[in-house]
Structure 1
């Protein structure tokens, strides 16, 4: 059908003139939309981000006239390639994401296709209802995508899958007609001719093929392959069920009506341990007889990988005892808590009867259950955190077999992997015989691609032998549509083609999916094609841990966790803009395409790449929260290094970067320099000359800036590291920290300056001046070497500075040179909390007359899991209750929030959570924030002073 080339400017102009939303046909946008979470990559014609359903209708009309296919897209998290294609992509996630109507009486809710499941459930929760098709990517999966894929989730044994819970779909058809697909009677009163023709055609198809459908469509719950033609015989008829699972090939959804379910009052979980994987699979059929709401598998590979991910390691430590080969997470839910505990006791008894006594770890605490759910839902992506070219690949991902055959099926697959010289990873929905299984393959290697096909063909044959389904959750897309004829037989495949041709005779919508597919192993469609390779690049940082910079970027498998909307850190700029360009995935895709030459020469240092990286605030949220370990903050440093080498520094960048070189002199001119904050004309001049926003106050220089002090105190030696920011702008924080450490009985020393003040190099890094930062790092290490040799701890106050010693130094200097300092460097509160845990802390504190402290953690504290240490130390103050603000980045992010071009975004990020929470805090409560930038953002945005934890402890000294 296609008559237009990707990026066609004439089509772009026509669309831009006709739609209210955005039209993007540039190479970087097309590159970002060329992949989803599958192994495929296909460049689209262009991208439209519609604002309204009318925009959708207009774009479809123009596409039809131009002969361009149309591809609907939500979060782009498909495992099978449903959301990539040589088509006009219409992204509904940014604007078409509202709840349109909630009817508690009928227990229904109507939504637009772009709404995210978690957001929908947050809206529904006060009414006591939810939409419980709880897919793993619930915090970014859109209802439109879930409907298109016939998604399932962990609790399908209780609630069914999407086809059982979608009541109606409003859709735009290929000819421009609009129809509501819902329950209809026999005589179709009031139906349009087009709708009536569709109903009659589908009725005829079912009558003709009923026997074949009964014989060939699998009877397992988890059957989502092909079109749901078995539902055509149901009465009352509802063609919405045919659209569910159609992968955008039959019509474009504009409204979806869902069945809501009441939230259970209670849930309890039991973590069942098995020494052997086979035993876990064989036990599942007995466990489900107890009526659980979910039974989820976690295998040894996932346990070991999760232990290495900071966000998940504490949960694994609590949940797992010993070294099991497999876990089954069994959940019971309902209204009577005591009855649920009784069910768990029955499970314990059953486990003993099956030969596994004392094999359960209970999870009754909702907070612990929530942590377990995070690990389980990230399972697929935890598997993808393996470094190197070999990755668990999704292609037999979600076959489903009857429970009686589950153990034998998994054993046969394991044997199949062994014959092909590969290992497999397993996890997920044991309760319904649908396990997510991924052989580890290198998709850059043609031999491994051939192995993929061999494994697929034999695995699907095993599934057919057990009368299972080869698509049990993630649909067909590019990876499984080819195998429909073997799965269902030629008559059913011809029936699928008849459905497609009746709804979309010209093949406008998402061609090549479900019917008339290409080969699943066609390397011309894949992300790693035969000619894929890295361009020559001399990197500034050490990327050897990943095998190179490009390999580190390739850790992004497009799972889209960075698109999540919950209160975690990642990804603050995307949460503010909701633009694919500004999410970690979008940046990683752009870097990968540039580094492999797919965006042309010099793409890495182009203006388009600068725009792509511009709003990354370096929060390191992805370092902790991305399940595959993409560290975009470090990647931005590498990018900035190459950008600055080609383009140079602005005056503003130079002033910020070299701040540590002149800050110690500025105290002599503090009164003059601080006039800028009091004289509007000077602020306006600074905005024009330097690009520092006049709407933002600058940190106030201090005439009483920090001066080195002689060693003092007895006891264990602690080196107090005076950073530039606290030293020049808030020296009272350093004085407070010194007093607290002395009061606790430590000997407080400072490293010799040997000329100008010592610096961690943070400001140079932020400007891309990695060579300058490396010089400062080696100066600091040399000054600290005698203290490190004596085993002293290096204690700092500013998270972004101190944690640079633990993180960026390894990338700049190599692990061997940086390891000693990294092991000894601790934040002030981290050191005190560690001393408290070991019983060595001797700090006498008294009440301070304040009952509550609201704690905002710096992004880097969150990335290293150190916010609980701040709460622990504050909790030492008698009578002080600590409330941690659940928030993403404050928005300031070093110099970012001061810059005129970033001020508005910085404030939008702050308004996501931090600033409203601070304003809502009682006036008498303390606001605690250890980050210099965080305190400034809170002062500017919420008109509240925030204190470093050291100041609070100083106030409480006896």
Structure 2
């Protein structure tokens, strides 16, 4: 399923480098990274061009024309029907072509470049009171160009229509070089264009002829529903629609033209809104109620069934939102807008009164923005929640967005459920944009056996006929691409499909624009990412991968491509992507490379691959993807696994020996800490030390403490009194023990004040973190086994283990059970590991901290965000009178050894500049800066001037007036 080697296209690549202002990538790693989108399909591209301007993109198309190479434009790469992967030159607009070129705030019009993300554009527009109408669930990552190519919708399309309704004009380029602004064309304008002659006149005359020739069939065969996304928008060329060429090109999926710029009609941000949630006895009853809800003119109307909610419960997704759902087995989420909150609430309650008389089981109204956001998150989590059900096989797209008339939705769902049952796909969840008759689902297709692929084809054909019988559209949101292109004759009839083919031939006579998609399509069971020949390498691994059938190949294929890791605003994932804006440095890009490594087609040297190594090199192992990714890809674990195999039997980078073995060096440094501090900080010696150790020369080395925490603890006087809450084991991690013993002293003071008897292991112990992060997994396992031996009696007696360093706690909770699968003590330690906040909240719920009365900014450690949480710490800080601003987005950028390693400094600082450093600059000079991670505190000290970050334990100890 690969393409010819990129060396065959080196002449084209050379011309690109000479003429195109951008990044030209025909290497195996880049081709592998762009080999698929969010669909079932895989096609390795010829190469990738990342233009810096729309003009550079136009020049790239010109070079492709001269070399007769096909072209595919790509925005966020989140397409679900295969339209964003092809054996073509891929133009990735999303890195540089992101400018808002103009905004007319009076008229509500913006001119933008295709690569700008929807959320970024809406953030830019927010102060002016305008926004883009459609809002797909991928709004954090989808690009405007992709939304135009796909005719995107989302929940807000209920009020504002599809993307076609937001497009005023487009600047486009045909493959043969015609560049023009297109939009509505009245008779005078048409006559002027035709009179000028040339290729543009030929295009306009040809399109007029197509519209006139097939007008009757277009009017008869295009379903009159809100969500007809399938096919070309030839209805926009009819006289009653103003011969609107820009709208006709929306949804053409890069098969007709290249869009260079877009002029968009904006909509006003609603003044106020209320969210009503209605519960029903089943999803069919919920669908039956849609017409009654539509009478109340909702701004959004979404449906979800109990299967989706059950899956979200099992995955612990949107937990706060799920607790707010009213009684029922299916739900409608209805947004009602108003001129103010009172009006919105009144309208919502009126609708509820009406619906409760017509079959709703229960209902509630939410007007608090935070609660509304949480409930919307439950709906947006649908794809991730349904991809890997814990009680069944993985599911796939393929028939995930069909649309029917809203007033027939209930009956359609009943028949569709029967069809699912007929094919033994009955576990599929049903949810989506019910107000517009659009249904989302993921189905457990078996796409790697001949029988499974045959059933996939048969089901899609039967489903297409069912939708057409209901007067619906094969696609109501995600487009045709390869999945539905072959099925278009079922929906439109051959005459309309011929009109599509004539349109393609007119605008792209050489068939070089995203060939094989929509028109003259590949078969729907060709180019499958898996397919009947899918036999990936199944390597022996160090981690157990219990959630992936203990197979690394399944873990590498876990990513579903929705691109949430390419977002820039919320969450931790993915800091290196945010810093570089590079696909290969996103979680998705890295997952694709690992998949291709096992496939062996483009990445041919397996674990020794330099392409995979280079992509993983900038992974901070923050574990943000473990929680933020909709399907919980755990790239930190995959990186450790890869590094183990990549360097097995070979000399490693020096940083792996210097930073990876820091627990050992710290023990040795304890003999003469002053001497080592002098060496690491004295000019000349410091430079040599860093060079030998593979440490970036711009980094300042932290100071070793004069006295280790464990030494202090062993020598400290005690009163000998029994503590009412019993013993706890305080974990002396390498960083607290050797660099910041004052944190450990503060924790002892707090624990004893709360009534615990504090113990510390009587021999050297370590969690193995630094060996894990550098892929030295055999050493890590030996270290962990020694630790379990040392802790064995305490673990078997049920003693809680309090861990102050979040990275160490995350090892015990997440990494160790997979490295030492089946070890009973390992699982005991995972269950008995507590953060200080967790222990106080769960084991001493009646204890109240002494007042501190301050304001604080909290840099939440990435592993707290991903694995541990910060809820209990925040509540205890509140009880101590500390008002906190929690920075739960972005990463400090140091990430243990990552920020110290040579070559990582710039990315490390860029990560800190994303969220952390701006927040610290805005905070008042007296504001406490809390950071439980040693890396976070180190980065803040180095980059944030006079700030002196402290651990949670130190804040609580400060209230006790304890001086370490």
TM superposition score normalised by structure 1: 0.96
Pairing 1:706-745 to 2, within 5 Å after superposition: 706-708=709-711, 709=713, 713-716=722-725, 717-745=727-755
**Structure 2 residue 232 is matched with structure 1 residue 227:** yes
Cα deviation per residue 1:498-529 (whole Å; 9 max; x = unaligned)? 1111111111211112211121112xx11013
Which residue is 1:444 aligned to? 448
**Are 1:3 and 1:66, in contact at CA under 8 Å, matched by a contact in 2?**
no
Which residue is 1:461 aligned to? 465
Which residue is 1:273 aligned to? 279
Pairing 1:779-794 to 2, within 5 Å after superposition: 779-794=786-801
Pairing 1:29-428 to 2, within 5 Å after superposition: 29-188=30-189, 191=193, 193=197, 194-233=199-238, 234-316=240-322, 318-321=323-326, 324-357=328-361, 359-386=362-389, 390-423=393-426, 424-428=428-432
Which residue is 1:810 aligned to? 817
**Are 1:402 and 1:432, in contact at CA under 8 Å, matched by a contact in 2?**
yes
Correspondence for 2:837 among 814, 824, 829:
829
**Are 2:28 and 2:611, in contact at CA under 8 Å, matched by a contact in 1?**
no
Cα deviation per residue 1:476-502 (whole Å; 9 max; x = unaligned)? 100111111121111111111111111
Deviates more, 1:925-934 or 1:911-920: 911-920
**Are 1:622 and 1:632, in contact at CA under 8 Å, matched by a contact in 2?**
yes
- Aligned-partner Cα distance in 1 for 2:553–2:931: 36
Cα deviation per residue 1:278-336 (whole Å; 9 max; x = unaligned)? 111111121111111111112222212212334523332x22355x4322111111222
- Aligned-partner Cα distance in 2 for 1:90–1:35: 14
Cα deviation per residue 1:651-672 (whole Å; 9 max; x = unaligned)? 3311222222242331232222
**Structure 2 residue 631 is matched with structure 1 residue 625:** no
Cα deviation per residue 1:615-645 (whole Å; 9 max; x = unaligned)? 1111111100111121111111111111221
SS of the residue corresponding to residue 439 of structure 1 reads coil
- Aligned-partner Cα distance in 2 for 1:344–1:388: 37
Q: Which structure 2 residue ranges, 5 or more long, are not aligned?
A: none
**Are 1:389 and 1:551, in contact at CA under 8 Å, matched by a contact in 2?**
no
SS of the residue corresponding to residue 414 of structure 1 reads helix
- Aligned-partner Cα distance in 1 for 2:265–2:143: 16
- Aligned-partner Cα distance in 2 for 1:887–1:561: 13
Which residue is 1:556 aligned to? 559
Q: Residues 651 and 248 of structure 1: is their aligned pair in 2 closer, same or farther, counting only changes over 3 Å?
A: closer
Which residue is 1:686 aligned to? 689
Correspondence for 1:520 among 519, 524, 530:
524
Cα deviation per residue 1:833-876 (whole Å; 9 max; x = unaligned)? 3346xx332x451335xx31111100000002512332222212
- Aligned-partner Cα distance in 2 for 1:865–1:758: 21
Correspondence for 2:827 among 800, 806, 819:
819
Deviates more, 1:919-928 or 1:361-370: 361-370
Q: Residues 543 and 678 of structure 1: is their aligned pair in 2 closer, same or farther, counting only changes over 3 Å?
A: closer
**Are 2:54 and 2:113, in contact at CA under 8 Å, matched by a contact in 1?**
no
**Structure 2 residue 474 is matched with structure 1 residue 470:** yes
Cα deviation per residue 1:132-178 (whole Å; 9 max; x = unaligned)? 20101000000000001111111212111111110010011111121
Q: Residues 296 and 815 of structure 1: is their aligned pair in 2 closer, same or farther, counting only changes over 3 Å?
A: farther
Shift of 1:683: 2.8
**Structure 2 residue 702 is matched with structure 1 residue 699:** yes
Structure 1 outlier segments of 4+, above 4 Å: 2-7, 189-192, 710-713
Q: How many residues align?
A: 943
Shift of 1:225: 1.1
**Are 1:4 and 1:67, in contact at CA under 8 Å, matched by a contact in 2?**
no
**Are 1:305 and 1:383, in contact at CA under 8 Å, matched by a contact in 2?**
yes
SS of the residue corresponding to residue 188 of structure 2 reads coil
- Aligned-partner Cα distance in 2 for 1:180–1:464: 35
**Are 1:639 and 1:768, in contact at CA under 8 Å, matched by a contact in 2?**
yes
TM superposition score normalised by structure 2: 0.95
Which residue is 1:935 aligned to? 937
Shift of 1:203: 2.0
Shift of 1:6: 4.2
Deviates more, 1:693-702 or 1:85-94: 693-702
SS of the residue corresponding to residue 22 of structure 1 reads strand
Deviates more, 1:704-713 or 1:441-450: 704-713
Which residue is 2:866 aligned to? 863
- Aligned-partner Cα distance in 1 for 2:382–2:624: 19
Which residue is 1:611 aligned to? 614
Q: Residues 103 and 595 of structure 1: is their aligned pair in 2 closer, same or farther, counting only changes over 3 Å?
A: same
Shift of 1:609: 1.6
Shift of 1:684: 2.1
- Aligned-partner Cα distance in 2 for 1:345–1:361: 9
Shift of 1:34: 1.1
- Aligned-partner Cα distance in 2 for 1:365–1:835: 33
Shift of 1:530: 2.1
- Aligned-partner Cα distance in 1 for 2:843–2:390: 35
Deviates more, 1:815-824 or 1:295-304: 815-824
Shift of 1:579: 0.6
Cα deviation per residue 1:258-277 (whole Å; 9 max; x = unaligned)? 11111112121122222222
Cα deviation per residue 1:157-210 (whole Å; 9 max; x = unaligned)? 211111111001001111112100122331227646433332232222222222
**Are 2:851 and 2:879, in contact at CA under 8 Å, matched by a contact in 1?**
no
Q: Residues 235 and 806 of structure 1: is their aligned pair in 2 closer, same or farther, counting only changes over 3 Å?
A: closer
Shift of 1:936: 0.7
Shift of 1:691: 2.4
SS of the residue corresponding to residue 894 of structure 2 reads coil
Q: Which structure 1 residue ranges, 5 or more long, are not aligned?
A: none
- Aligned-partner Cα distance in 2 for 1:918–1:556: 34
- Aligned-partner Cα distance in 2 for 1:311–1:455: 30
- Aligned-partner Cα distance in 1 for 2:357–2:431: 25
- Aligned-partner Cα distance in 2 for 1:463–1:774: 55
- Aligned-partner Cα distance in 2 for 1:310–1:646: 40
- Aligned-partner Cα distance in 2 for 1:774–1:446: 42
**Are 1:18 and 1:58, in contact at CA under 8 Å, matched by a contact in 2?**
yes
Shift of 1:4: 7.3
